[in-house]
């Protein structure tokens, strides 16, 4: 029977409507299989229907020539956070994949350089720190009836 709480992660804007497959230059020592991402020893990356990601990060705008690259980049970083890929060995390669795909999709070279510089300087924590699991309602509010006083509704 479901409990009175939901557990979730925030920070996502997009959700994949169908499976997406691409070959990347990252080749793991053994095949990686997870709920939403598979990466085999041949570099075949499959991101499965329903995968959620936050799109392009940083001081930028979400353009069509950035979406596919951000999807692949976020999936590869997630594999690093989950321990399937060694961040020290693969992070730079994932950043290169982001730029390669964005350039394939028509991103100007100067913007691609800026994107690459941004992820190289600011992406380290994103490759290592898992997203926090949140809970609603807050545990201390569980005994409070809806609409009762008790602080902000966040």
- Sequence-separated contacts (24+) of 111-116 with Cβ below 8 Å: 115/56, 115/60, 115/66, 115/69
pLDDT reading at 143 higher than 50: no
Residue 70: burial class (beta carbons within 10 Å; 0-12, 13-18, 19+): buried
Mean pLDDT of 54-79: 94
pLDDT reading at 148 higher than 50: no
pLDDT tens, position by position, 20-44: 999 999 999 999 999 999 999 999 9
Query: What is the rounded end-to-end Cα distance, in angstroms, of the chain?
Result: 26
128 φ, ψ (degrees, to nearest 5)? -120, -30
pLDDT at 2: 62
pTM here is 0.82
Query: What's the CA gap between 43 and 31, in Å, rounded?
Result: 9
What share of the chain in percent tops pLDDT 70? 88
pLDDT at 140: 65
Query: What's the CA gap between 104 and 45, in Å, rounded?
Result: 17
């Amino acid at each position: 029977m479901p409990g009175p709480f939901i557990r979730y992660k925030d920070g996502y804007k997009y959700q994949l409507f169908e499976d997406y497959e691409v070959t990347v230059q990252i080749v793991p020592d053994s095949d990686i299989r997870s709920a939403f991402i598979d990466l085999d020893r041949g570099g075949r990356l499959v991101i499965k229907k329903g995968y959620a990601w936050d799109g392009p990060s940083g001081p930028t705008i979400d353009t069509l020539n950035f979406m596919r690259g951000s999807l692949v980049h976020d999936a590869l970083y997630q594999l690093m956070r989950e321990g399937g890929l060694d961040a020290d060995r693969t992070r730079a390669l994932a950043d290169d994949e982001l730029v390669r795909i964005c350039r394939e999709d028509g991103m100007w070279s100067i913007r691609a350089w800026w994107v690459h510089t941004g992820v190289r300087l600011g992406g380290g924590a994103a490759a290592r720190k898992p997203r926090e699991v949140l809970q609603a309602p807050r545990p201390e509010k569980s005994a409070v009836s809806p609409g009762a006083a008790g602080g902000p509704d966040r």
